[in-house]
Amino acid sequence: MTSILLSALMLASTFEVSMEKDAFLLDGKPFQIRCGEVHFARVPRAYWRHRIQMCKAMGLNTVCAYMFWNYHELQRGVYDFSGEKDIAEFCRIAQEEGMWVLLRPGPYTCAEWEFGGLPWWLLDKGSDKVRVRTRDKAFLEPAKAYIRRVAEELKDLQVTHGGPILMAQDENEYGFFGDDRQYIREIYDTMREAGFDVPIFTCNPAYHLTKGVIPETVKVVNFPANPKNAFERLREVQPQGPLMCGEYYPAWYDSWGQRHHTKPTENMLKDLDYILSVGGSFSLYMAHGGTSFGWWAGCNSPFIPQTSSYDYEAPISEQGRATPKFWALRELMKKHMSADELAALPEPPDPIPLQAFQSYAEGETVTPTLQLLKVNMEKPLPVEMMGVGYGAVLYSHVGDIRKGGLLKAPNIRDQAAVYYDEKLLGYLDRRYPERGVQVPAGIGTLHILLTHMSRYNFGTAMNNSEKGLLPPVTLDGRELTGWNAMWVAPPLKGERIHVGGHPLNFKRFRVYFTSTADTFLLVRGWKKGHVWVNGHPLGRYWGIGPTQTMYVPGCWLKKGENEFLIFDFGGNVSIRQGLTFVDTPILDEMHPMCDIVEAPKRPSAPFTPPETPTMRGEFENSFAAQEARLANPVTARQFAFVIDTAWPDDKDLASIGEFEILNAKGESVPHDSWKFLSVSSEEIEAEDGAAENAIDGQISNIWHSKWKDGRAQAPHYLVIDMGADVEIAGFRYTPRQFGTNGRVRQWRFYAGNSLAK
């Protein structure tokens, strides 16, 4: 009855952005948006209402809905808004539950989603034929067509038409990417012409608020901490109007091979209390993270792929449970609610049941039917140019390899198992391009089974996102020519699978369930692959961690026989002996020995700084990004950043949120070809303080010098090879945003071509 009443009130509502009153106005009265991000694509449709009810019980009044273009247009010009992709139904459920909606339709979203939400087929003529997130017609025209199609689905669900959608976003954090206001205007104008008549907002981090923004949009600021500082920056570009945090992070997402991310609850409460106390609004990113099912998890540069679990240490867990953060936030929201809101605050819905048990069913080894893609290629093509978006591709060499030798593919995207006459020889891996696989002499067929992780979802590296066995592929130093390729289609429910002669390893388990409660598949000890249940893709497993379980929604199970299909890329013996299901997720176990290849130690080439640094200086102890510029740009392939002292007056700790090289135009140089030559130390036991965090484009995770088992001594340094000669006009350093220890104080910067080898 309460939901029906609230929905009726919504039908009569008006919403506006008042610059004079510095507020959002709902029916003419100031309205604070207390929003939580929930991605319907990361939640089974059967659970949408439950997750929205959880957000309402936490004290929120709005849900934020990201849309992913590639989720709705898998093939060019073919749109799907049905079933699990029915965004209109998600919005209707929100309205029925008395919740408002902020819509973020794309075309670009990021969200640690494959290719940032962009369709793979943008690359089907080669990555050099399209420049994403620009006015390039190869990108902009299909992006506009998508926006118009989204409007057909949702324009009648805007508050201006009696629906729950209060505002819509034009792009996402464009300041991280570029500064083309005309591009943003093209997106904005298309949204207006398509029928979006609610306020349109744009979000950026605090130090990119002026990039690519136009006067017509409402500006909101994204930040992980320090709301006072961020709102001060927002006031510099929007002197009047409501204060809003477009993304406030209760923690952070996880990446393969790095520790699980957490954030102290008290930090979150302090920041959100401040936002609400000054009359501001917020969107909690994430209120409920969910799961990047199937192929949808993203990847940062330089090749830092994210886990399928998107738990995010959010207040509502991956499985939909209330966490301690949930209850703490509920109490904080009560403090800022009106008497009427408090009276109407519901209790959380009943949790979805969980189950745990051991299945001893043996797995049947099967191989899928392969689909021929290309024959007689001189050189192997990227998968997109062969019409493939997702799934594995089997490349076969049809030439003479009788002499054998070391097989190398330095441009592989991303990993491949190498077979010779169906015998597994080893793996090629993008992370270690200098490595190869020894191929024996003889007469036989060379197969390379290619599986890719995700395309980049963030930054300028997105323009270098094509996948596949990219040339050159060499054997004993000689480039191999003459290739065929076949697609290993993702196995769907009901697809015929047969045993064949191909060197592929799938396993099928028939598991009997007596309950359709949720569960988690234990994958500890497994190496690498994908899992489907009854045709539904669960996602990737990779034994290195941090996640050692895979969420199995009970709504995808049935009482009786259930089919689990496993694409076993890593040669796992252990999963022949049955499957284990647990009722508690394992989100933070690292097992590097379960990698498909043995990882080398962090490069630690000897680094002896030249006598005279290229630059030296001292940074302030602040949250702000700080820049250092050369009087005259230099050209170099390598650079070293050395930290002599850190705030607060500490020589034993050092940290960096983000480090960027700037060219003469002040633009950040792409990171995707960078590799570390030497790292003084990094903390990877007690926290995710890996060196890659300093160059991944994200300011919310950090590189931190070693501190758990004995502190590393100053000077601390990172030495990086950029892969080619680069014009260096300066650099930008962003300090850590959580806490202050280790922030750079006195520093030295070196540019050269032989700093370390």
CATH architecture of 357-365+491-594: Sandwich (2.60)
Identify whether the C-beta of residue 79 lies closer than 8 Å to the C-beta of residue 119: no
Mean pLDDT is lowest, of 77-81, 145-149, 468-472, 689-693, for 689-693
Q: Which two tokens stand for residue 527?
A: 């190496």
Considering the chain, tell me which residue range(s) the CATH 3.20.20.80 domain(s) occupy: 2-318+320-344
H helix intervals, 63-109: 69-72, 87-96
Q: What is the pLDDT of residues 231-259, one digit of tens each?
A: 999 999 999 999 999 999 999 999 999 99
- A 10 A CB-CB count for 80 gives 13
**247 belongs to the catalytic site:** yes
The catalytic position among 37, 73, 171, 173 is 173
Q: What is the pLDDT of residues 442-490, one digit of tens each?
A: 878 899 999 999 999 998 889 999 999 999 999 999 999 999 999 987 5
Angle at 741 between CA 268 and CA 685, to 5 degrees: 80
For the segment 77-84, the average pLDDT, to the nearest whole number, is 98
Is the per-residue pLDDT at 1 higher than 50?
no
Indicate the Cα dihedral angle 124, 130, 135, 141, nearest 10°: -10
Identify whether the C-beta of residue 526 lies closer than 8 Å to the C-beta of residue 541: yes
Q: Which of 678, 629, 686 is nearest to 653 (CA)?
A: 686
For the segment 184-192, the average pLDDT, to the nearest whole number, is 98
Is the per-residue pLDDT at 108 higher than 90?
yes
Considering the chain, tell me which residue range(s) the CATH 2.60.120.260 domain(s) occupy: 357-365+491-594, 370-488
**173 belongs to the catalytic site:** yes
- Taking CA atoms, 195 is separated from 14, 477, 488, 729, in Å, by 17, 58, 41, 45
For the segment 404-413, the average pLDDT, to the nearest whole number, is 96
For the segment 298-324, the average pLDDT, to the nearest whole number, is 96
The catalytic position among 97, 114, 153, 247 is 247
Q: How confident is the model at residue 686 (pLDDT cuts 50, 70, 90)?
A: confident
User: What's the mean pLDDT when you consider all of the chain?
Assistant: 92
Q: For domain 370-488, which CATH number applies: 1.10.1040.10, 2.10.25.10, 2.60.120.260, 3.40.50.300?
A: 2.60.120.260
For the segment 404-431, the average pLDDT, to the nearest whole number, is 93
Q: What is the pLDDT of residues 149-185, one digit of tens each?
A: 999 999 999 999 999 999 999 999 999 899 999 999 9
- Taking CA atoms, 381 is separated from 221, 384, 395, in Å, by 41, 8, 10
Is the per-residue pLDDT at 46 higher than 50?
yes
Residue 598 CB-density burial (10 A; 0-12 exposed, 13-18 middle, 19+ buried): exposed
Catalogue the E-assigned strands of 518-662.
519-522, 528-533, 536-542, 549-552, 560-568, 579-582, 615-618, 626-643, 646-647, 655-656, 658-662
Q: What is the pLDDT of residues 338-378, one digit of tens each?
A: 999 999 999 999 999 999 999 988 888 777 778 899 999 99
DSSP 682-696: -B-SSS-B-GGGGGS
Residues in the chain: 757
Q: Which of 571, 493, 573, 562 is nearest to 521 (CA)?
A: 562
H helix intervals, 223-323: 227-237, 265-277
Q: How far apart are the first and last CA of the chain?
A: 70
- A 10 A CB-CB count for 757 gives 11
Is the per-residue pLDDT at 604 higher than 80?
no
Mean pLDDT is lowest, of 64-68, 346-350, 590-594, 651-655, for 651-655
Q: For domain 2-318+320-344, which CATH number applies: 3.40.50.10070, 3.30.1490.20, 3.30.160.20, 3.20.20.80?
A: 3.20.20.80
